[in-house]
Amino acid sequence: MTNSLIIAQKELLDLRRNKFLIAVLSFVLIAVVISVVVSATQYGVKLDAYNMYVQSLKSAGNSTVPPSPQLYPLQLLRGSIEYMEILGALFAIVMGYGIVAKEKQRATIQLLFSRPIGRFAVPAGKLIAIAVAWFVAVTIIFLSVTLCVAFVGNASFNAIDYQRLVIAAFTTWLYLIMWSALALGLASWTTRLGTALIIALVIWLTVVLIIPQIGDTMDPDNQVPGGLFKSLSIAKPDELAVLAQFSGFDTARNGLEVSSVTKHFERFTFAFLGIKDKFNQQPLGIVWAGVWNNALSVWFAAFGAVGFALLITTRKKLLRRT
């Protein structure tokens, strides 16, 4: 274990000084902050439009006051979560791949293995470093967006909101570790580093972009701007009744979506942050009952990727000539 910690310590020192990685993570931070600012501004635009509408009603002598648009602060984090889901995953791959690639390219791996270290010292050390690095990054990101929501969105949080944020942050951390561990394992496994990058990028494309995109575009309600059922003036209860006639199609569509761990991550975090209307303002227990299977999927995927990295990263594989 000591050697793992020594290796982890060295990796963290190296990562801290990696200007490019810092730039990339800063870029993710800026993107998520921008998304919160945009969402908060959008709410402000809606509110202004609403106030003007109420004013015009009053001027016309109409005393009816329509319900005002509600601000649920955590819903402003939708874009941020989507950025972590897409870009966070990509940069997690970069980190995981790079942490092995640089050793292989520079042959420092020979200096490592000419020392008396145990079988799991190298993969465990690198995974510990990745876990710590993402913990720091996710903490900074979530703190930043929370502050953003508070100031730009002029919103206040209660205790349960903080709990939701912690749950979402923890799941994001696991999700990013999963991608880094996968890339680390691939970089150790393949003889040529380029092959590892190819496989990692194709998996990212498929799991993060293509499968969710297909699932999304197969959703009938997404085929018309503003929603199909809204354009047909069909209310929600009737919408569900109609869709029940197409359960086969929806099952196939949903089946495709749940083959992507990204979709599980999205559904879980959206549920706890109240972005999904069905779970908005619901007690944590009820939310958990609705999405525990998504949580399990993310956890299994994360532990699976870590296990893969630990098992596949061996002395023989890393010292193999490229």
Partner 1 sequence: MKRALAISRHELVSLRREKLPQVLLMVFILMVSVSGLIGWLTNTTVSSVWTEATQTGLTQAPNPFENVSPLYYSRNTVIYLVLIGALMAIVVGVTSTMRDRKARTIDLVLSRPISVVEYLLGKTIGVAIFLAAALVATGLISWVSISFIVGKPLGFQDTARLMGFFGIALIFLMAFVLLGMISGVYASRETTALLIPISLWSITAFVLPQIGTSANPVSLLNPVPKVSVPGGAFDALNTILGPLSVTEQFKGASGWLLSNPEATGDFTTSIFVVVIAASLGMLTLLLTRRDRIRGALND
Partner 2 sequence: MSEYAIQASGLSKRYGINTALLDLNLEISSGEVFGLLGHNGAGKTTTVNLLTTLLEPTAGQVVINGINAAEYPNEVRRVIGYLPENVQFYDNLTTMENLRFFARLSGLTKPDIRIREVLEYLDFNDHDHERVGSFSKGMRQRVGIAQAILHAPSVLFLDEPTSGLDPEGVHQLRDVIVRLNQELSMSVFMNTHLLSEVTKTCTSIGILRKGELAYHDSLTATLEAFPREESLESIYLQIESAGIR
Of positions 56, 139, 223, 247, contacts partner 1 by CB under 8 A: 223
By a kind-dependent CB cut-off of 5 to 8 A, residue 113 interacts, out of partner 1, partner 2, none, with partner 2
| CB of 101 vs partner 2, minimal distance in Å | 13
Of positions 15, 25, 74, 82, contacts partner 1 by CB under 8 A: 82
Q: What is the 3-state secondary structure (H, E, C) of 72-107?
A: CHHHHHHHHHHHHHHHHHHHHHHHHHHHHHHHHHHC
Contact 93, 200 (CB under 8 A): yes
Of positions 61, 64, 115, 156, contacts partner 2 by CB under 8 A: 115
| CB of 141 vs partner 2, minimal distance in Å | 23
Of positions 86, 117, 228, 258, contacts partner 2 by CB under 8 A: 117
By a kind-dependent CB cut-off of 5 to 8 A, residue 44 interacts, out of partner 2, partner 1, none, with partner 1
Of positions 48, 69, 277, 286, contacts partner 1 by CB under 8 A: 48
Q: How far is CA 81 from CA 10, 29, 84, 256, 315, in A?
A: 30, 11, 5, 21, 37
Considering only 3-11, 46-54, 140-148, 181-189, which stretch makes contact with partner 1 by CB under 8 A?
A: 46-54
Dihedral, CA of residue 81, residue 86, residue 91 and residue 93, to nearest 10? 120
SS3 of residue 298 by DSSP: helix
Distance CA 181, CA 202 (A): 16
Residue 22 in the binding site for partner 1 (CB under 8 A): no
By a kind-dependent CB cut-off of 5 to 8 A, residue 245 interacts, out of partner 1, partner 2, none, with partner 1
Residue 39 in the binding site for partner 1 (CB under 8 A): yes
Of positions 22, 42, 51, 251, contacts partner 1 by CB under 8 A: 42
| CB of 113 vs partner 2, minimal distance in Å | 6
Phi-psi region of 277 (alpha: psi -120 to 50; beta: other; left: phi over 0): alpha
Contacts with 74 (C-beta within 8 Å, 6 or more apart), sequence order = 149, 161, 164, 165, 273, 274, 275
Backbone angles phi, psi at 192, to 5 degrees: -100, 130
Contacts with 114 (C-beta within 8 Å, 6 or more apart), sequence order = none
- Residue owning tokens 């206040």: 156
Could you give the string, one character per residue 236-255, with x where binding to partner 1 holds by CB under 8 A and - elsewhere?
--x---xx-xx--x------
**Nearest Cα to Cα of residue 129 among 6, 246, 38:** 6
Could you give the string, one character per residue 10-49, with x where binding to partner 2 holds by CB under 8 A and - elsewhere?
x--xx--xx-------------------------------
* 80 vs 146, beta carbon nearer partner 1: 80
Distance CA 130, CA 315 (A): 20
Count Cβ atoms below 10 Å from residue 86 Cβ, excluding itself: 15
Q: What angle do CA 253, 32, 292 make, to 5 degrees?
A: 45
Residue 88 in the binding site for partner 1 (CB under 8 A): no
Of positions 232, 240, 284, 286, contacts partner 1 by CB under 8 A: 232
Total residues binding partner 1 (CB under 8 A):
62
- Which residue ranges make up the site for partner 1 (CB under 8 A)? 20, 24, 27, 31, 34-35, 38-39, 41-42, 44-46, 48-49, 78-79, 82-83, 85-87, 90, 94, 97-98, 101, 105, 194-195, 197-198, 201-202, 205-206, 209-210, 212-214, 216-218, 220, 222-226, 228, 231-234, 238, 242-243, 245-246, 249, 266
